[in-house]
């Protein structure tokens, strides 16, 4: 229940209400799953009335889609900031930043990951979801490949395949997120982080040290 003490209803700008409903939707998907979600649950979670979801989003389907886009856009923005920033002193620092970002608290937050995988699980049967998931991924994969190629060039490594390494990193992180989310006892977040770091360290030995213990704040 999110009600912050208000007893009387108040008119608020559309954007505030939409954000409020999207946050409630994220919580509800995490708690009840995509097939258990109802507008009654979402609006109750938001402390609002039944009809409000359709008022601001026209339909349940559009609310779900905007919720997915909200989550993916947030991740894409953070990642793009790292891939495009001018502030990194070295390629190794940039790759490390990418890794740390992928396991930072806002990214591995339980509810958001739950939303992400809930939609992915339905993606192949719903082209709309599939497009929302893939949209920015293609571009990210290209940029990560370029970054990895740069690291290989700096190391004089002509044998390794940057595209293969990038595809592997992306899939590895997806798999780690999924396993840590579903059963954190079998795969604790700290261990997941170390696995990903090890993957990068063995591909870019000159840029990334193996032993640095990160993620201590978890």
- Can you give the binding site for its own copies, defined by CB under 8 A? 29-36, 110, 114, 117-126, 130, 133-134, 137-138, 141, 164, 167-168, 170-176, 178-179, 181-183, 186-187, 191-192, 194-195, 198-199, 202-203
Place of tokens 């192949």: 124
Angle 110-123/127-155 helices, nearest 10 degrees? 110
Shortest Cβ 53–its own copies spacing (Å)? 17
Shortest Cβ 34–its own copies spacing (Å)? 5
Nearer to its own copies, 57 or 177 (CB): 177
**Which residue, among 101, 100, 94, has the nearest Cα to 212 in the 3D structure?**
100
Nearer to its own copies, 88 or 174 (CB): 174
Shortest Cβ 4–its own copies spacing (Å)? 26
Could you tell me if 76 and 136 are in contact, meaning their C-beta atoms sit under 8 angstroms apart? yes
Shortest Cβ 27–its own copies spacing (Å)? 11
Q: CB under 8 Å to 180, separation ≥6 — which residues?
A: 108, 187, 188, 189, 192
């Amino acid at each position: 229940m999110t009600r912050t003490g208000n007893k009387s209803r108040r008119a608020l700008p559309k954007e505030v209400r939409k954000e409020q409903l999207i946050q409630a939707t994220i919580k509800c998907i995490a708690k009840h799953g995509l097939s258990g979600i109802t507008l009654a649950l979402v609006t109750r979670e938001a402390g609002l009335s039944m009809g409000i979801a359709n008022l601001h989003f026209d339909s349940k389907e559009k609310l779900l889609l905007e919720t997915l886009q909200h989550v993916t856009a947030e991740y894409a923005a953070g990642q793009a900031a790292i891939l495009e920033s001018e502030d990194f002193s070295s390629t190794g620092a940039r790759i490390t930043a990418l890794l740390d970002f992928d396991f930072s608290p806002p990214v591995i937050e339980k509810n958001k990951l739950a939303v992400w995988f809930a939609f992915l699980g339905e993606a192949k049967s719903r082209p709309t979801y599939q497009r929302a998931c893939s949209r920015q991924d293609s571009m990210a994969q290209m940029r990560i490949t370029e970054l990895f190629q740069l690291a290989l060039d700096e190391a004089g490594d002509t044998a390794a395949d940057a595209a293969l390494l990038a595809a592997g990193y992306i899939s590895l992180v997806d798999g780690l997120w999924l396993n840590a989310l579903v059963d954190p006892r079998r795969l604790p977040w700290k261990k997941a982080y170390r696995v990903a770091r090890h993957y990068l360290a063995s591909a870019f030995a000159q840029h990334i040290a193996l032993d640095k213990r990160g993620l201590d704040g978890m």
